[in-house]
Structure 1
Amino acid sequence: MSVLLGQEFPNFDVDTTTGKYKIHEFIAGSWAILFSHPADYTPVCTTELGRAAELAPEFKKRGVKMIGFSIDSVEDHKGWIKDIQAYSKVNDFPYPLIAGTRQMAADLGMLDPDELDKKGMPLTARCVFIIGPDKKLKLSLLYPATTGRNFDEILRIIDSLQLTANYKVATPADWKSGERCMVVPSLSDGEAKARFPKGFETSQVPSGKSYIRLTPDPSK
């Protein structure tokens, strides 16, 4: 049972470093990001969770709740958090970590068959799930255990998801918040003029088709 884009995220009961609750209770009408890591007390994971803690104000500014996941115990999580704080020089650890089960990780498609623990069992891969206020999955990313994530890119993705959830635009390659967006093809030119008072520019291409229409970021 892997959750697909647009599907409601499973309402798991979770035990975390800040208590027990259901995932939907944690989301509670906000955007949320759940990111998994292979194991506590491992080097790449330490850098990732430290970086996420450093960027917590940026996630909060976007109204995004953060929560981590691995199949380690709450006790191990709490001990490891001290290492993360020391290594990354963060005074606060601003998000909970789920003490998940192997079954939960399997249900979410998180297990990495190429990376095994000391018992020969697959480790949790580096997953990213971004969940909307409607509790539906908006984006999923899956990294192997050996590759650390770029959290600046994850913030950029969130900016795009939140923008395109509210306006009839798409974001082009390498887009950053505040840059020009693309009018979605489903809007006619007349509809686009009504929706985007700042106007739009149509790029001329050899086919003669006017499908590339750029407009200023409508959220600014």
Structure 2
Amino acid sequence: MTLRLGEQFPNFKLKTTGGDFQLHDWLGDKWGILFSHPADYTPVCTTELSRAAKLAPEFAKRNTKLIGLSCDSIENHHGWIKDLQAYGSNKSECTTGDFPFPIIDDSDRKLATQLGMIDPAEFDNKGLPLTARAVFFVGPDKKVKASLLYPATTGRNFDEILRLLDSLQLSARLPIATPVDWKTGDKVMVPPNVKDEDVAKHFPQGVEIKKDLPSGKGYIRMAQV
């Protein structure tokens, strides 16, 4: 299965450290980020999930739920969580029984295979393939809004994941696009398909039009929101 932008994210029945549930029911009316990691008790994955746990309040502020996945069992996940808490120095924030997000048991590799998350270059000690570092952003409508795929050798940047989430949520609310290196608070771009009569409605503070390009075309319109 290859999930494209705008397609419905499958409503998997999941077995997780937070109990068993249907994904869509668990998400409710919130945004969701499902991210996979190759294996529990591995160095890069430990840095990643510890970081995600620390950032859990930031995702909660954005009405977003996190859920992890790897080809490991529930028992493995629960044991590894103790390492995640110790490495992240956040024992006071979440005990073993209160980790800020669930981790999916995909020991049969069913979800990893269905979602195209298998890393062809990484195997466990039994010679079985491991999951790559995939990230799926799912909107309240349960549709795929963005996806990222990293190899096992490269840890993700969760600041970038937050930045992308901010851009997705803002563009879901307003007819805007975000320019290179954009971050919350920066000016946004008004796409060419936004008609002039709609600009005043959505951007009452006005827009700045860059007119000194060689083409003379005023297609770069910036606004503060």
Residues 109-120 of structure 1 aligned to structure 2 (within 5 Å): 109-120=116-127
Q: What secondary structure sits across from 1:114 in the alignment?
A: strand
Distance 1:143 1:134 in 2: 26
Give the structure-2-normalised TM-score: 0.94
Partner of 1:27: 27
Q: How far does the alpha carbon of each residue in 1:74-132 deviate from its partner, in whole angstroms, 9 at most, with x for none?
A: 00000000011111111212100000131210110100001121222221000111100
Distance 1:12 1:191 in 2: 40
Residues 1-220 of structure 1 aligned to structure 2 (within 5 Å): 1-91=1-91, 92=94, 93-100=99-106, 101-204=108-211, 205-217=213-225
Give the structure-1-normalised TM-score: 0.96
Distance 2:214 2:200 in 1: 24
Structure 2 unaligned regions, length at least 5: none
RMSD: 0.9
User: How far did 1:189 drift?
Assistant: 2.3
- For 1:95, give the aligned amino acid: F
- For 2:24, give the aligned amino acid: H
Instruction: Give the number of aligned pairs.
Output: 217
Distance 2:216 2:169 in 1: 32
Distance 2:30 2:208 in 1: 34
Distance 1:213 1:189 in 2: 11
- For 2:110, give the aligned amino acid: Q
Structure 1 unaligned regions, length at least 5: none
Distance 2:195 2:29 in 1: 33
Distance 2:198 2:217 in 1: 17
Q: What secondary structure sits across from 2:14 in the alignment?
A: strand
Distance 1:5 1:43 in 2: 31
Q: What secondary structure sits across from 1:169 in the alignment?
A: coil
More deviation, 59-68/203-212 = 203-212
More deviation, 43-52/182-191 = 182-191
Q: What secondary structure sits across from 2:122 in the alignment?
A: strand
Identity %: 59
Distance 2:128 2:75 in 1: 21
